[in-house]
Structures are given as structure tokens and as C-alpha cells.
Chain A
Amino acid sequence: MSNITVNKSADPASAPQLSTLRQARLPWWGPAAPLALALIIGCGGGALIGLESKIQWGLISAILFVVFTYLLTLKVEGRRQAKNQLATSLVWVCFLLAVIPLASLVYETVDRGSTVLDGYFLGHSMDGTQRMLAGGGVYHALIGTLEQVAIATLIAVPIGLLTAIYLVEYGRGKLAKTVTFFVDVMTGIPSIVAGLFILSLWIIMLDFSYSGFAGAMALAILMMPVVVRSTEEMLKLVPNELREASLALGVPKWRTIIKVVLPTAIGGITTGVMLAVARIAGESAPIVLLVFGNPAINNNPFEDAQSSLPYYIYEQWQNGNEPSYDRAWAAALVLIAFVMILNLVARGIARWKAPKTGR
């Protein structure tokens, strides 16, 4: 077999076929000309026919860019390359469309939030500040968010982790299927529903008062399915061979899970938990229902109303005046920074704990 192929390719008669490997190519800056053309027509044409919105100009340019690059490549390089170019252009355009709102959001928040964000803002509450006037701060809301998120995490992570371990390592048959089903259902619970559930159970039926803890319970309900899901996926990625290797050494199953399976997956699990934390840190609906809001500092999450960052933003926005808008933007910036720091910490842990390679 192999002899025949060798002979054939050595055959001088088939040498001209080599030319099918080479053909006309656009230079690497090929797409620049269509881009310029698309921008000129898009913006110029847009201005001429009196489209007001720059977004419309941009969209026209984007569509024209895709069409022009396709046609140009089709002309110079051929059909298959044109399709390839079409896909590439679309990916680029979509990437830009996705990045523009994100970048403008970050820019806007930083720009407007930094006007009043300073040490005073971070260190003071709204207690005694007139809502129409400048001044006051976010300290009480920051404390509230930190405490509520911490309590929610303390409730949700152990339960979520153990559920995921059950599902992956032990769960067989009906019970496991049922649990998986309800976890899926829980993933879709709107935050206001979780809030209403705790409201009717904790505050109306059991007659407790508003507190950070009540809010934290609702947040925990929102967090749990996310933790279960991400942990489950991570545990499934741990190769079965590692479990068998450990079992074959005479290590009991529970120890195998704690000492071999969890450490192998810990990086991914941490990332999942942090994403869940980031998600609940921005929830406002359960806070409105259960924590009630409080302009003063309340360090005790188990008694009386607290505030939280999302609630604070909402409250300030409702005030409807310039100093309040500034405070709202600054609080939004604090919230984004909080989530960002958590993400960085999670990435750090994931990298530090990830299975090591190399000598």
C-alpha cells in the first residue's frame, strides 16, 4: 500500500498538481481597504441621508464591511476563502458589538462614579445627610452587602458542595435524578420569588423581623443551584483513574473524595463559587423585601434593617437629584470593584491550586 503512494507522488507526471497548493492571496492588510470604504460610505452616507444616530452609521458600516470583504476575497482568492473571510468578518463585527456596550458601561461608571468616590464616601453612612444635598457615604451599604453575601455564602456553599458530591460520587437512580431536576428548576427562580418565599416563611409565618440574615437566606437560595451546577461539572472532570488509583491503595471512598477528588477540582470549584457570589452581590429584589433598607450603620445582620449596595443605588436613584445620582454612580463603581476583586481572588486561587505540570 504505502509503496504505491510513495511511487505515485514521486511520479513527475503528477508534479504540476503541486500548483493547486498555491494561489493568489490578499496581503495581510487586505481587509483595510474595505474597512475604510465601509466607514466612508457608512458615515458619509448616514450623514447625507440625515440619519441622526451614530449607532445607525456604525451598523451600516459594519454590514458594508462584511459584504465588501466577502466580495473582495471572492474576486481575488476564490469561493472557499471568501466563506472563510465572511466568517472572520462576522466574528470581528460581533466581537466589537459585544465589547462596545461593555466598554462604554465601564467608562460611564468610572467617569461618573469617581466624582464623589473618596475615603469619606467609603467611610460614612447616609445617617443625618439630607437626601437632596451632597455628602454622606456608602459605608452602611458596603457593610450590609459584605455581611449578607458572606452569610449567604456560608449557607449555600456547604450545602451546594455536598449536594454536588452526592450527585457525582454517590447518586444513582431516582433520588439523584429528582435532585438534579429540582436543582435545574431552582436555577431559574427569579430573585423576587426567592425573596417572597423567605418573606412569607420567615417574616410572616415565623414572625421574625427584617434583617440582613433574612436577605441572606434568600440570596443563599439563589446561590445554591449555581454552586451545585458548577461543582458538579468540575467533579465530573476529575478522571476516574484517579479515584480508582486511590481506592486501589486501600483508601476509603470518603477519604478519596476529600483528599484526591476535591483537591484536583478545587480550582474550578472556587471559580464557580466566586461567580455565584458575584451574581448574588448585585441582587436587589430580595433586599427590598427582606432587609428593608436603612440609612444608618447597622453592623448586626441578625437584627433590624440593613442596607446593601444594589439597594443603595436604587434608593439614591429614586431621590432624583444630582447629588443622589452621583452617590448612585459611585456605589455602582464600588459594587463593580467588589465583584472584580472577588473574581481576581478566585482566579488567583484557581491558578495557585490547579494541578501542577512541568518538572
Chain B
Amino acid sequence: MAKRIDVSGLTAYYGSHMAIEDISMTVEPRSVTAFIGPSGCGKSTFLRTLNRMHEVTPGGRVEGKVLLDDENLYGSGVDPVSVRRTIGMVFQRPNPFPTMSIFDNVAAGLRLNGSYRKNELSDVVEKSLKGANLWNEVKDRLNKPGSGLSGGQQQRLCIARAIAVEPQVLLMDEPCSALDPISTLAIEDLVGELKERFTIVIVTHNMQQAARVSDRTAFFNLSAVGQPGKLIELDDTERIFANPSVQATEDYISGRFG
């Protein structure tokens, strides 16, 4: 199921503003890769180029290649819709559909794609909610609106919604930034479990979190405000936190930055 991502020479623009420049890296299958770096260095932008969500932003433009196993996501004839079905995404702020119940939220991906059999829908919903560690909290109120959950529960609902369509890669943009330590821990545990099945990329501002959950860590930085963000280094998480090969990485991790 899980797939490798190979990025080479990727540059992304907002209109004429170059947000990230010439990024090349490999994301290993069945592993967690963390993206760290100062605010505005283009982590979210880069993450969104990996499932072709960047072009949804008006003026969003991408150059370069992203290979999923051996297929270029930006090749001609590639349908962004099927790319997004293969590479799921969880956003920084929980965004359950307000008109739908908890059940419908999880089922939304399947239903809206029209690709499901009726009798398997409730199995998929149960499996996904269990996968997101939310089943026990919501199993007796599946018909209640999803927006009635707490922030942490909503975020796990969004994770359940994302994994219900069985993607091969899961992109998470600061999934814990609005959550308390206990919900954060629940989601970190979840990431640990999910990596058995998915390739996971997670953006985080929390160094401890990157150290706890990820196998590999990528550090992004920008040389000055208004300059495009660049990949500084990507290595095993232990090495990045113990002795990184670039001085800027060490400065950032140890808080001696800027």
C-alpha cells in the first residue's frame, strides 16, 4: 500500500512570488517524515505540492517533479483528483463538514466519490474511527453533528475521514497545533500506528514531537524574509537532533536562532 515519494527540483510560486525553491528529497514508504523550520519557510506550501493542493490556491504554480513510486504527479494527463485520492491530507485546523453528522463526515470521502457499496460503508466508518482512536468516544452518537465534538476530537475525526478513503500517503500539516497535550499524545500514538500502513509526512513546530514520532526529519529555512524557502537537510531524526551536519539546523533545534 504505502508508496515512496521522490521529489526533484521542485519550485512553487504564489503568483510571481517564489515560496519554495529547488527542493529535492525522498520520503521512504512506511515511515514518518517530519518537516520542521521557522514560520513562513514554506513547509505548508511544500506539503501541499505533494498532493497537488497547491494549485487550488489562486495563482499557485509548481515546477519540478514529484514521483510517487515511478509516476510523476505533475506529468501530463495526470488527474489531480486521483492524486488526492491516493495522497490524503489533514489540515492544521480541524475542518469537519458542518452540515454532516459524525458518520457522514467519515463516510464523506467514499460517498462523494461515489465509490462504495452500501453495506460496507458502516464497516469502513467503524474501522476508520477505531483507527483514529475516536470510536469509543463517539460510537453512541454517530448521528450527531461533527462540529459538536471538542477540538481534539474534531481533529481525530478529520484523520478518520482522511484514512477512510485508504490513501497510500498521509500528509499532516501541524495536526496538533490546536490541541492539548493529551489529545496530542493520542494523535502521536495514532501516527505511530498508522505508519504501519501509510507513508506519513507531518509538519510540526514542536521539536519534541518531531523527535518522538518521526523516523526522518527535514529542516527547511529561508535566507531572509521574502526569499524562497529551501530544504537545508534531511536525515535520520536521531542524527538531526544529535549532531546535524549543518550549523543552521543545530541553531534552530537548540533555539539559538535568528
Chain A interface (Cβ < 8 Å from any Cβ of B)? 172, 239, 241-252, 255-256, 259-260, 263-264, 353, 355-359
Contact = CB atoms under 8 A, between A and B. Distances in A.
Interface stretch (B5-13, B87-95, B183-191, B216-224): B87-95
Interface string B191-229: 000000000000000000000000000000000000000
Contact of B93 (A241, A357, A358): A241
Contact of B97 (A242, A250, A357): A242
Contacts of A248: 51, 53, 84, 88-89, 91, 162
B97 A249 contact: no
B162 A249 contact: yes
Contact of A357 (B81, B113, B145): B145
B91 A245 contact: yes
Contact of B112 (A244, A249, A359): A249
Contact of B98 (A172, A250, A264): A264
Nearest to B147: A357
Contacts of B86: 250
Given A248-B53, A248-B89, A252-B81, A241 B95 contact: yes
Contacts of A245: 91, 95-97, 158, 161
Contacts of B89: 248
Contacts of B109: 249-251
B130 interface: no
Nearest to A358: B148
Interface string B92-131: 0101111100000000110111000000000000000000
Given A172-B58, A250-B81, A250-B109, A359 B141 contact: yes
Contacts of A255: 112-113
Nearest to B95: A241
Given A172-B58, A239-B95, A246 B147 contact: no
Interface string B213-256: 00000000000000000000000000000000000000000000
A248 B162 CA distance: 8
Contacts, number: 90
Contacts of A358: 144-145, 148
A359 B144 contact: yes
A239 B91 CA distance: 13
Nearest to B149: A359
Contacts of B95: 239, 241-242, 244-245
A250 B144 contact: no
Given A248-B162, A251-B109, 12 more contacts: A241-B95, A242-B95, A244-B95, A248-B51, A248-B89, A251-B81, A259-B108, A264-B97, A355-B145, A356-B98, A356-B99, A358-B145
A296 B81 CA distance: 59
A213 to B, nearest CB: 36
B56 interface: yes
Pick the 9 closest A-B CB pairs, nearest first. Answer: A250-B85, A355-B98, A356-B145, A249-B109, A248-B89, A241-B95, A250-B84, A251-B112, A263-B99
6 contacts: A245-B91, A245-B97, A249-B109, A264-B98, A355-B145, A357-B148
A357 to B, nearest CB: 6
A239 B53 CA distance: 16
B165 interface: yes
B76 interface: no
B16 interface: no
Nearest to B141: A359
Nearest to A265: B99
A244 B91 contact: yes
B113 A250 contact: yes
Contacts of B81: 250-252
A235 to B, nearest CB: 14
Interface string B34-47: 00000000000000
B136 interface: no
A173 to B, nearest CB: 10
Contact of B161 (A239, A249, A259): A249
B55 to A, nearest CB: 10
A258 to B, nearest CB: 9
B101 to A, nearest CB: 8
A259 B112 contact: yes
A247 B147 contact: no
Contacts of B98: 242, 264, 355-356
Contacts of B144: 358-359
A132 to B, nearest CB: 58
Contacts of B91: 241, 244-245, 248
Nearest to A172: B58
Contacts of B85: 249-250
A247 B53 contact: yes
Contacts of B113: 249-251, 255
